[in-house]
């Protein structure tokens, strides 16, 4: 745990400014849940980033940033607590959200946070990206996040999917299992994230998948963590991908994006 009791207390003022807590550090249940999610997410981010050279500026991209709570926390943690040079680029196609976040960042003097009212897929930068992350970016936004990371050779990609309406699955051999909604949802998530993981592996990323926070704070708690490294592949990712995709008749949008640009 990097977030000690002292750091957690220091964060109370930030959460007050973000209206996640009142002056007495109290908040509604849904806001408490959000705080737990972003603190847990920060722990994972820091476990990847803490070993990077302090001389270099950190460059992060928040994909499907929404109200940017996670990014404000990440920015505050690295700039004020860790005292590191950092910039964060927040992307969301909701223009009014990006405008209000830009105003809030200015008020808080978070000078190196930038806001882009656009589709994730249209974001471009020449900078070397340390980390692309997304939390509950809906539908194909998860695929776009991973694509953005792969295209820019980001050192780390973290993604926690939300709803996945656009993806379909046929599980003929497990028909009896997936007739239960809960199992169908879980299966869809397991197969789609495994397919994405195999695509990431084919692009030089080492992938693991785990629960980043207790399911008490969100049932959408499955994180895909991909780290760019010259690792020794353990499976034939191409063959495994084709087999699994065929078995469940599933094709994540990431496949299409990668095929279009021949990455
Ligand atoms: C459920 S919210 C999550 C917001 C935030 N990450 C959080 O955890 O609170 C999903 C956000 O992703 C944005 N989004 C979804 N697809 C997108 C896309 N293709 N490009 C840009 N933003 C997208 C939506 O506008 C929305 O603000």
137 within ligand 1 shell (Cβ under 6 A):
yes
67 within ligand 1 shell (Cβ under 6 A):
yes
Greatest alpha-carbon pair distance for the chain in Å reads: 56
pLDDT for the residue 262: 65
CA of 177 to the centre of ligand 1 (A): 31
91 within ligand 1 shell (Cβ under 6 A):
yes
pLDDT for the residue 165: 76
Candidates 145, 181, 162, 155; CA nearest to 253 is 145
CA of 63 to the centre of ligand 1 (A): 7
pLDDT for the residue 157: 98
pLDDT for the residue 263: 61
100 within ligand 1 shell (Cβ under 6 A):
no
Give phi and psi for 90, each to the nearest 5: -105, 125
What does the angle CA 54 – CA 197 – CA 160 come to, to the nearest 5 degrees?
A: 65
How far apart are alpha carbons 120 and 94 in whole angstroms? Answer: 11
* E strands present in 73-204: 86-91, 113-116, 131-137, 156-161
CA of 94 to the centre of ligand 1 (A): 8
220 within ligand 1 shell (Cβ under 6 A):
no
92 within ligand 1 shell (Cβ under 6 A):
yes
38 within ligand 1 shell (Cβ under 6 A):
no
Residue 13 gets the label, from left (phi > 0), alpha (psi -120 to 50) or beta, of: alpha
Nearest protein Cα to ligand 1, atom 23 = 64
pLDDT for the residue 55: 92
pLDDT for the residue 62: 98
Question: Is residue 14 helix, strand or coil?
Answer: helix
Residue 229 token pair: 């490294």
In the chain, the domains with their CATH numbers are 5-163+207-230 (3.40.50.150)
Identify which of 140, 141, 165 to mutate to test ligand 1's pocket (most ligand atoms within 8 A of the CB). 141
How far apart are alpha carbons 193 and 250 in whole angstroms? Answer: 11
Question: Mean pLDDT of residues grouped by 10 in the chain (263 residues)?
Answer: 90 96 94 96 96 94 98 98 97 98 97 98 96 93 97 97 84 90 92 96 95 92 93 84 95 94 69
Nearest protein Cα to ligand 1, atom 18 = 119
144 within ligand 1 shell (Cβ under 6 A):
yes
């Amino acid at each position: 745990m990097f977030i000690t009791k002292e750091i957690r207390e220091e964060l109370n003022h930030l959460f007050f400014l973000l209206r996640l807590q009142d002056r007495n550090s109290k908040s509604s249940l849904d806001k408490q849940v959000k705080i737990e999610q972003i603190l847990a997410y920060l722990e994972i981010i820091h476990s990847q980033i803490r070993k990077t050279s302090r001389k270099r500026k950190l460059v992060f991209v928040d994909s499907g940033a929404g109200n940017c709570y996670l990014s404000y926390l990440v920015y505050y943690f690295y700039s004020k607590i860790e005292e590191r040079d950092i910039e964060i680029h927040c992307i969301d196609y909701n223009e009014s959200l990006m405008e209000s976040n830009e105003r809030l960042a200015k008020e808080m003097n978070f000078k190196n946070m930038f806001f882009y009212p656009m589709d994730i897929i249209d974001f471009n930068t020449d900078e070397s990206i340390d980390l692309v992350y997304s939390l509950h970016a809906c539908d194909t936004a998860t695929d776009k996040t991973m694509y953005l990371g792969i295209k820019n050779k980001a050192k780390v990609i973290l993604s926690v999917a939300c709803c996945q309406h656009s993806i379909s699955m046929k599980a003929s051999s497990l028909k009896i299992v997936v007739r239960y909604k809960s199992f169908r949802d879980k299966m869809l998530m397991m197969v789609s994230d495994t397919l994405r993981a195999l695509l990431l592996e084919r692009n030089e990323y080492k992938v693991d998948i785990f629960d980043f926070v207790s399911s008490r704070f969100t049932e959408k708690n499955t994180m895909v963590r991909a780290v760019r490294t010259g690792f020794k592949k353990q499976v034939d990712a191409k063959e495994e991908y084709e087999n699994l995709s065929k078995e469940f008749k599933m094709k994540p949008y990431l496949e299409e994006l990668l095929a279009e640009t021949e990455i």
